[in-house]
Amino acid sequence: MFHRGTRFIIDNVLFSTKSRRNLQSFKNIHRNEYPIEIVNDNGIEYLHIVSNVYAKKQILEKLHVLYSSLYYTSISTIEM
């Protein structure tokens, strides 16, 4: 689950509770049918995960870009 509550499913994942960082690919976001957009807001780049319901775009998540060109967010695990 993303910081703002957006849930998505990742199959075949390796997870370590001792790891402070984990990488996700855009493929996992697309598999859950979430469109993404790269947005430049006052010189700061963000990745938006959006929802298009009834032709209305809603920003579900806003991920910040790091200097290394990776996008940063916190993700919580949900036990199934």
- Concatenate the DSSP letters of all residues of 10-69 into one string: -SS----TT-S-----HHHHHHTT--EEEEEETTEEEEEEEEEETTEEEEEEEEEEPTTS
Smallest CA-to-CA distance from 70 within 37, 48, 40, 47 is with 47
Structure tokens at 37: 């957009």
Q: Please, are residues 50 and 57 in contact by the beta-carbon 8 Å criterion?
A: yes
Residue range 24-75, pLDDT digits in tens: 666 777 777 888 888 998 988 888 888 887 888 888 888 888 777 777 676 6
pTM of the model: 0.67
